[in-house]
Structure 1
């Protein structure tokens, strides 16, 4: 099993807990989404347990990367935030399981075993909520612009960081504000984040 979580204490606690199981071996641990594929190529895990919120490439992007690079490695998303948007994106990107960090430890261990056996394991209430709320209305570029806007900065700074023109950034921000029903870009970013669209 490969573990990816940017919080070393959480990662270490998960590794220690899973190591107590006779049929689970943690073969790699990383602290960012960028490290997932390379670590998986070296260690060849059957299952990867990925956090959503990590610096750089998040766990949802790392899921898609890992599934493309090593299709035999199944992915379980383990996050603090059981947001419908995160759930939907995890499933779209090829995750086989989705658990929240406040679940009982035995639930996480059971999820890992079931995913390893080829099953999909998801929280029924979260799946129902995800279906009810629908998919993200944001395009990929609108999501990128809102993520950058979350950090603050001017339109020109966002444009430079994303290698776009200022006009294109303004258009994407305007579209995202309209799609989220927000009044400002900060509010649009907050709403999108709360829904798990970022």
Structure 2
């Protein structure tokens, strides 16, 4: 049985993910947390095989939790789940020897496979989308998903329509747009689209 801790500050998403994970016969979500400091509190009382952590959490983010783990020589393996594929985050996580890094829209069967690969087979698992971004280097900072979102925005689709088209939640699409604005140094989505096309990112 693989015992895991699941941490995400979005309650509905965390609950849905926990339910999905526990459909697997060999998985048990032994603890859930909504903030990084709650994760550390739980770790002071029990052990787990795997921590599934969101990067963006209040009070103590996912990377700070990993730093705490390393300082205390803990054996728990870590799988980062995030809506962001920011290269800087990924590089920092890899430097900390995180065992996995996947996007939150990873299909459930792929997530389950990744958990077993990390815990049972000792493998490092990184989303193909993120790997592709590294292979391409810094010439194009946009992930395939971000390109898709901008292309749909170019067609005039609203956030809600883009979410429906990509089977994502509107909140997830808004997070992607926020990350896009940061990457491109844009003030709004129209400017982001203009800059992405000018630089031939899409």
After superposition, the C-alpha distances for 1:10-43 in whole angstroms (9 at most, x for unaligned) are 1111111111111111111111111212212323
| Number of residue pairs matched by the alignment | 140
Question: How far apart, in 1, do the equivalents of 2:117 and 2:45 lie?
Answer: 24
SS in 1 for 2:24: coil
TM-score by length of 2: 0.63
Partner Cα separation in structure 2 for residue 83 and residue 51 of structure 1: 13
Query: Where does structure 2 lack aligned partners over 5 or more consecutive residues?
Result: 140-180, 187-202
Structure (1/2) with the larger strand percentage: 2
Matches within 5 A, 1:115-130: 115-117=118-120, 118-130=122-134
Q: Normalising by the residue count of structure 1, what TM-score does the alignment of the two structures yield?
A: 0.64
Question: Residue in 2 aligned with 1:148?
Answer: none
TM-superposed deviation, 1:84: 1.4
Partner of 2:138: 133
Tell me, in whole angstroms, the C-alpha distance in 2 between the residues paired with 1:99 and 1:4: 14
How far, CA to CA, are the matches of 2:62 and 2:112 in structure 1? 19
Q: Is the counterpart of residue 92 in structure 1 residue 95 in structure 2?
A: yes
2-structure distance, mates of 1:69, 1:75:
14
Q: Secondary structure at the match of 2:28?
A: coil
Question: What is the RMSD of the two structures over their aligned residues, measured on CA atoms?
Answer: 2.4
Q: Deviations over 1:149-176 (max 9, x none)?
A: xxxxxxxxxxxxxxxxxxxxxxxxxxxx
Q: Which runs of 5+ in 1 are unaligned?
A: 135-188
- Cα offset for 1:125? 4.1
Q: Which residue of 1 is the match for residue 78 of structure 2?
A: 75
